[in-house]
Every structure is written in C-alpha cells, then in structure tokens.
Amino acid sequence: MTIASGNFLRVQTVSPPVHSGDEVKHRGEMKTWKKVALGLGAGLLLAAIVAFTVYRSRKNVVTVQTGKAQLENLAAVVSGSGEIKPKTYVNVSANAFGKITKLFVREGDRVRKGQLLAQLENVQSSADVAATRASLEAARTDAIAAAAALKTAQANLARAKADDDRAKLDWVRAQGLYKGALIAKADYDAKKAAWEAAEAGIAQSQAQIAQSRAQLESAQGRITQNQANLRRVTDVLDKTYYFAPFDGLVTNLPVREGETVVIGIQNSPGSTLMTIADMSIITAEVKVDETDIVNVQLGQPAEVTIDAIPNKSFKGKVTEIGNNAVVRSTGVSTSQQSIASEEAKDFKVVVTLQNPPENLRPGLSTTAKVTTATRQNALAIPIQALTVRRASELRETTPGKGSVQAASLPPGANSDDKKEIQGVFVIRNRRAVFVPVDTGISGTTDIEVLKGLQKGDEIVTGSYKVLRTLRNGASVRIDNSAPKKLDEESS
C-alpha cells in the first residue's frame, strides 16, 4: 500500500488476510448452488412461456376423428321380425253341433288329400237320410204308376175315338135308311144313341188323361222335393265327417274324443278341430316399418334367420306385400278402425324360403333382411359423418380467425333461411369446411354419396358431440389413435 506524507511517498506493504481451507471450499459451493438455482428458474420460466403459448394456440382448436371417402360395394337392407308360417294352411272348424266320436289322426301326423280326419255323432242325421231316401223311392214309385195310368188313359182315348168313328158311320147310314123307310124308328134311334155315347167316351178319356198327367206331375214334384231334402240331410250327415283338404301336416289338434264342438255364429267363431299345413312351401311373415315399406318390391332377395336355428341363415325372396297398414301396438289393420291413428304402423311382408329345413314348425320367431338395392364401387362415407346445418350457421365467422368462406349452398338459400342442409365436414388446410352432399342408398354402416365429394376426401367422422357443435371453418386437430367417444368434449 502507498501512503503520501509531505513531500515524501511512503510505501507500506499490506499482507492479504489468510483464510483456512474449509472456508475457501464453503464459498465455492455457494457459488455453484446459485448458478444451479438461476438455471432452474430460467428453465421453469421458459417452460411456462412455452406451455402458455401452446395453450393459447390450441384454445380454439377442436380435436376430431376423421375418415376418407372411398369406393365400396353397398347394399341397402330393410329388416323385419315375425314368425314362420306355411304358405298354405287351413283351420278345420266345426260345421255342425255334436260330440266327437272318433279322431283318426294325432298332432304331427302327415295326411293325404281326402283322408278321414274326424267324425262327429251322427245317429239323427243318418236316420234323416234313410227316411228321406225312402220317401224319395216312394215318390218315384208313384211317378211310375202315374206314368202308367197316363198311358192307359191315352190308350182308352184312342179306343174311344175309334168307337166314335164307327158309331158315327152307323148313324149316318141309319139316317139314309130311315129316310127311305128301310129301317124302323127304333133302329134309327139306337144308332144315334150309340154315336152320342161314343162322343161321351172320348170326353171321358180326355179327362182321364188330364188326371193321369196331373198325378204324374205331382209324383215328379214329390221326387224333386225328396231329392232336395235328401241333399240337405246328406249335407248335414257329411258335415259330421272331416276330410283332409290337401296333403299336409297336422300342426295343431286342440280337441279330444268325447268333446262337444259348436258351429260359429255371427261374430263368435266355431270350434277348431285341427290345423292342416302344407309344409312344402315355408314363408317368413314379418312386419316392416312404414318408413321402409316403399323400398320393398316383389322378387327382392332376402336373408332369413330363425331364433330356433342359431348361426344359420336361409335364402328367400319377397312374394307378398301387404296393402293395409297394421297398428303396431294393437295389431289391428287401419281399415278396421273407425278413427285415424297416429301410432307407429307396420306392413306385412311375406318372404318365401328357398330349401327350408324339414324341422321347421309354424310360429317360430324369425327375422328377415330384405336387400332393396345394391351399388358396385359406390363412393361411400360412414353414416355418422352426415350432419345438418342451417344456411345462416354456414355463413357465421369463426372468432379470432376472420371471415370464413361459406359452403356451397343450394339455390335460393340465404342467411335467414331456416331450411336444414345435409352435408359433411371436409378437412381442408387444418380446418373443417362444411360441404353439402347428395346421398343415395344406405348400407349397414356406410352411405352412398352421389354429389359433393371426391374419392380420398378426408371428412370428420366424430365424435357425435363434436359433429353436433362443430362450426364451419373451425380449426381442427386430427386424433385417430384413440377410440371415438360420444362424450369427448371440444376444446
């Protein structure tokens, strides 16, 4: 150290303080920790700035799942549920009142056309038939006798005419002889009386002919009457016997021997003895919703599944389509209702099965899927990608992003138009742009696009909540790694 004193400069040397080794080491460690703390603070600050920047950049970005429009083979299918029924079946109902004396078949038996199935008690009807036949035979005998009497009367008339001709000639000759005084007055009178008697004989024979003819007509009338009575009582007797109307299977036999059956009257149906079904042609009778019936046509192919035969399907075709709607809740045809109903309605559709199995039984639950249309190499997208927007919504601006170009709207649409427009959101420059589309047939999961998209266009397919709230032109982030969830929230 240098110290100034007067005119002289005095130099004084000062020795530095001496520290111990532990104190020097401690000071070095303090400097290192300060540097580390400063580095950590700077890193945290930088991370916060980056996180805030990312958050701000993603604040208006919506996370979506996407798919692509691609060519597919589509098939439009209409489904309906119902039951298995034979094409031809008949309920053999009671045609007369009486007790069942004999059943010749059992449930499940196969029968031939004309085979005797059952018999009712018929003692009285058999007696009526026998009595009427006897009356008919008696009437026929009377008719034969009347015909013979008529022929006899006709022969008597011919003889009477011959006698009349002879008697007339005798009287004419007698007149000439009497004028010539060649015969007595008594002979003349006798010839005249004989001619008049012959004239009376002719009138008598004609009356006998008329009487015989009337008797014959009466006998013929009795024959006709007895024939009619015989048909009536025979019909009553025949109704105590029941025969198979065609070859088939006894699918239902609700009665037993000894039971009494009754005939149906007015709105009360009669007793059903059995059901005969022709199991050679089997159908699936299903109900199709009224919104789908317009697409169903005769001859369309169908695939039929039966609950009793799982994991197997059967081919068929539509052979009958009902014309009257059936109320779903009651099963009553609308033509039988006096007032209109706003309830859901179905239509009957009959599908005839091809090569049905032999173990089918009427009444089995079944489902038929009718293919109403097919498309080869059709441009298709997932059905869930379709959404609707109003024209005014499509012209809205996205906050913070400026004006967004509106989608191509139908002619005549304006910002106040409330008509909903069907379309999809297409990914363009990381934005979801609404594009109106025209659609065709719908498959199981995809739908045909007729106009508005091109092959390979990337479209928004989910989630449901995103599609419901997504705005035209919104910024999006694609995330197809996770399963689509309905409850996914937009950012």
- Has residue 458 been placed in a domain? yes
310 within a domain of the structure (yes/no):
yes
Residues 323 and 405 in one domain: no
Q: Is the pTM of this model over 0.75?
A: no
Looking at 355, 375, 395, the residue that finishes a domain is 375
Pair (388, 461) in one structural domain? yes
pLDDT value of position 147: 87
Band of residue 55 on the pLDDT scale cut at 50, 70, 90: low
- Give pLDDT tens digits for 63-87: 899 999 999 999 999 999 999 999 8
- Residue 314 belongs to some domain of the structure: yes
CA-wise closest residue to 304 among 85, 91, 88: 85
What is residue 398's predicted lDDT score, i.e. its pLDDT?
A: 43
Average pLDDT rounded to a whole number, residues 251-275: 87
Find the mean pLDDT for residues 357-363: 85
Query: Given a cut of 80, is residue 433 above it in pLDDT?
Result: yes
Q: How far apart are CA 176 and CA 49, in angstroms?
A: 171
Domain of 460 in residue numbering reads as: 63-74+378-478
Q: Are residues 340 and 394 in the same domain?
A: no
Domain termination residue (choose one: 375, 406, 435):
375
Count of structural domains, the chain = 3
pLDDT band at 286 (very low <50, low <70, confident <90, very high): very high
CA dist 157 and 213 (Å) reads 14
* Inter-residue contact 403 to 101 (CB < 8 Å): no
Statement: residue 455 has pLDDT above 80: yes
22 within some domain: no
The domain that holds 447 is classified in CATH as 2.40.420.20
pLDDT digits (tens, 9 = 90+) for 133-189: 999 999 889 888 888 888 888 888 888 788 777 877 877 777 777 787 777 778 777
User: Is the predicted pLDDT of residue 19 greater than 70, yes or no?
Assistant: no
Identify the residue with better confidence: 269 or 434.
434
Residues 366 and 316 in one domain: yes
Last residue of a domain, one of 325, 355, 375: 375
DSSP 8-state class, residue 364: -
Domain match, 367 and 404 both = no
pLDDT digits (tens, 9 = 90+) for 198-237: 788 788 888 888 888 888 888 888 899 999 999 999 998 9
Q: Quick one: pLDDT at residue 23?
A: 53
Q: Does residue 176 belong to any structural domain of this protein?
A: yes
Specify the length of the chain in residues.
491
What pLDDT is attached to residue 130? 94
Among left, alpha and beta (phi > 0; psi -120 to 50; other), residue 343 is: beta
Instruction: For residue 27, tell me if it sits in a domain.
Output: no
| pLDDT higher than threshold 90 for residue 113 | yes
